[in-house]
Amino acid sequence: MELIVSKFNYWAYIVMILVGLYGMMVKRNLMKKVIGMNIFQWSIILFFISIGAKKGATVPIIIKGTEHAVKAADYINPLPHVLMLTAIVVGVATTGIALALIILAYRRYRTIEEDRIIEALKKR
């Protein structure tokens, strides 16, 4: 019980990652796959942000007037945030390309169900 509560954050993101992964790997609708992909990526981002969290610290913007006595312990670790900004951008880019591919696939097969597309491909 103690294990579950003290790391609730981590358990929660594990569930989210698995939900996303399930959507990507098992769902047959391509759109669902892309939605799962987004959930997957955002859960990883959540994980990274959780790394950065620091008890008793504030947002990593230096408060005016304290420039000469900045203590690292007062501010949240900014590095994961930076990394995750990049990851978000990668996520958007992935989404954009994936959606374009879905439009193309739909144009060709008139469906976005994976198994139907595979059938259509086999028939050729």
Partner 1 sequence: MVKDPDDIIVRTVARFMIPIIQLFSLYVYVHGHISPGGGFQGGCILAASFILISLAFNIGEAKKILSGRKNLLFIGLGVFIYAFTGLVPLFVQGNFLDYQHLSQFLPLDPVMARYYGVALVELGVQITVMAVMISLFQDLVTAGRHESILKDRENGIDR
Partner 2 sequence: MSRILGIMMVTFFGALLILSTVDFSPWSDPAQPAAVHVSPRYIERTIEETGIPNVVTSVLADYRGYDTLFETSVIFTAGVVVILLLRREKKW
Partner 3 sequence: MKAHWPILIVALPLIMSFVTFMTGICYRAAAYHLTVITAAFSTFIAICLFIQVIVEGMTISYHIGGWEPPWGIEYAVDHLNALVLLATSLIGLLTIIHSRKIVAREIGGEKTHIFYALVLLQITGLLGMTVTSDVFNLYVLLEIASFSAYGLIAVGRKGAEFAALRYMIFGTVGAGAYLLGVGYLYILTGSLNMSDLLRLLSNLYGSPTLLAGLLFILLGLAIKMAAFPLHGWLPDAYSQAPASTSTLLAPLFTKVVAYVIIRICFTVFHPSFALHTYPLIPIMGAIVGVGIIVMGVMAIAQSDIRRMLCYIVIAEVGYIILGLAAGNRLGMIGAILHIVYDMFMMALLFNAWATIYEHLKSSHISAWRGISKKYPLEVATFILGGLSVIGIPPFCGFFSKWFIILGLVEGGKWFLLATLLLSTLLAAVCFFRILEQTSLTHGSNTMDDRSEKKTSLSEGVVLASLSAFLIILGAVSGYLVSFIEKIPFLGAL
Q: Cα–Cα distance between 58 and 83 in angstroms, integer?
A: 19
Nearest CA to 30 out of 119, 121, 111 is that of: 111
One residue of 35, 57, 105, 113 binding partner 3 per CB under 8 A: 105
The verdict on 100 binding partner 1 (CB under 8 A) reads yes
Q: Which is nearer to partner 3, 70 or 97 (CB)?
A: 97
Stretch that binds partner 3, among 1-9, 38-46, 55-63, 68-76 (CB under 8 A): 38-46
Q: Which residues, 53 to 82, sit near partner 3 by CB under 8 A?
A: 79-80
> Among candidates 120, 117, 114, which has minimal Cα distance to 29?
114
Which of helix, strand or coil describes residue 58? strand
Q: Which residues are at the interface with partner 1 (CB under 8 A)?
A: 59, 61, 85, 89, 96, 99-100, 103, 107
